[in-house]
Structure 1
């Protein structure tokens, strides 16, 4: 199999994972489910637990659902990561 080199290979590479995460986080200003974000439930759960431990989101129960909301720290991080 031939190795991809040069400009064609650079165009076909996906962006760095951190870039994708920042874009996705910045776009979740409205309520969304994992399915709407094209993520599995365990993936969403693990990420939200980590964000909660870091003080970036808070959670509350509403019946069978757990609702998450950004904290002021989360808002600051989104603002800092957003292009001006």
Structure 2
């Protein structure tokens, strides 16, 4: 994930060979993003429109994510974990 500005991020899905942008639309106890797939070479990216990120108790670097097709949906189409790599992780 690459920050474009305070509310927009470029995201890459290497295993799916696609990428897109996340635009922050809500910042509360969770962060809600509008997702737009901008490059999908194989046309297999999940057609999610909204992404919810929630802090998880596993570690300060772990977020739980939920993908939704519509903003009003109650059931996600997918969920899982994202792990942030700390800046000093690869330093000797």
Greater RCO (Cα-Cα under 8 Å, separation 6 or more): 1
TM-score range, shorter chain: under 0.3
Structure with higher strand content: 2
Structure with higher helix content: 1
